[in-house]
Amino acid sequence: MLSISRLYVYPIKSLGGIELSSAKLTDRGIEHDRRWMLVGEDNRFLTQREYPRLALLRTAIYGSELTVSEKGNDAEKINLHLHPEGSDLVSVQIWDDVCEAIEMSKEVNTWFSNKLNLACKLVYMPDESKRKVDKEYAINNEITGFSDAYPLLMIGQASLDDLNSRLEIPVPMNRFRPNIVFNGSDPYEEDTMKHFQINGIDLFSVKPCARCVVTTTDQETGATAKEPLKTLASYRTGNNKVYFGQNILYKQEGVIAVGDELKVVERKEALQLSQ
């Protein structure tokens, strides 16, 4: 049986994630997932691609507050309201998209700037801001938060196990920052799951996830290396991109939990990969 083994939410894009036992699917992904983002002085998004140190900023949710702290320094933390309000919106850029967002206070921005030794600002995507997924892959004009492109990313545990069998030093799942991890499958079975259901919710694998250098950043130390991207590229390359995991869209909102079964409704052909 295919079943959810892990669930993750990443409240602030490119910062540390939070493991969950259950998750609410909202109109743009798991509740609170990547509703926040750091931007530079030009209001363009910042990620671990350029700033691996972002991995060392950890997030936690307590009641109605989002807490951010630096690994190994819990004493210096900052608390944010999970649903900040504000009428003055700023335009921020993520990839080719421009979205409206609420900029946090000078005090908050200074805290992040000092921690990262980088002039930056924290912004929040309010409900009124609608960022649509790529219309080429959309099913019903879906929207997403500040994720790279889609509301959910899913990876099978067997896929990571297969990758690790090829590596000299195994890597943990957090290198790939999924929302849903499932077990009970063959390696890369997620590639063939066109339509599946979890707890009565219809989900669809719409696009394989092209991987970048973030996978080479150790999420515990911020150190970077060549693996696992180098090994992945040797057997998971197609269209000059390295694929690992599937981007997911879904029809209904609802709750999913660790242990829930994935019921495959329709399959599709496996990816065409170069060897």
- Round to whole Å and give the CA distance between 164 and 159: 9
Range of weakest confidence among 85-94, 117-126, 266-275:
266-275
Q: Which residues does residue 255 pair with via DSSP β-bridges, in sequence order?
A: 24
Q: How high is the pLDDT of residue 74?
A: 80
Q: How high is the pLDDT of residue 275?
A: 58
Q: Which residue has the tokens 């911020």?
A: 222
- Round to whole Å and give the CA distance between 245 and 63: 31
Q: Note the CATH number of domain 3-29+133-267.
A: 2.40.33.20
- Round to whole Å and give the CA distance between 77 and 126: 23
What are the residue ranges of CATH 2.40.33.20 in the chain?
3-29+133-267
Average pLDDT over the chain reads 97
Show the tokens assigned to 60. 């936690």
Q: Which residue has the tokens 């057997």?
A: 235
Q: How high is the pLDDT of residue 206?
A: 97
Q: How high is the pLDDT of residue 158?
A: 98
- Round to whole Å and give the CA distance between 123 and 103: 4
- The pTM of the full predicted model, rounded to 2 decimals, is 0.97
Task: Output b/e per residue, 9-18; b: 16+ Cβ within 10 A.
Answer: bbbbbbbbbb
Q: Which residue has the tokens 């990969």?
A: 273
Q: How much is the average pLDDT of 232-236?
A: 97
Percentage with pLDDT > 90 across the chain = 95
Nearest Cα to 145, choosing from 6, 8, 11?
11
Distances, alpha carbon 18 to alpha carbons 24, 70, 255, 268, in Å: 14, 14, 17, 31
Residue 87 pLDDT grade (very low, low, confident, very high; cuts 50, 70, 90) = confident
Q: How much is the average pLDDT of 9-32?
A: 98
pLDDT greater than 80 at residue 83? yes
Sign, CA dihedral 94-7-77-107, equals positive
Q: What is the pLDDT of residues 21-35, one digit of tens each?
A: 999 999 999 999 999
Q: How much is the average pLDDT of 135-139?
A: 96
Q: Which residues does residue 64 pair with via DSSP β-bridges, in sequence order?
A: none
pLDDT greater than 70 at residue 76? yes
Residue 86 pLDDT grade (very low, low, confident, very high; cuts 50, 70, 90) = confident
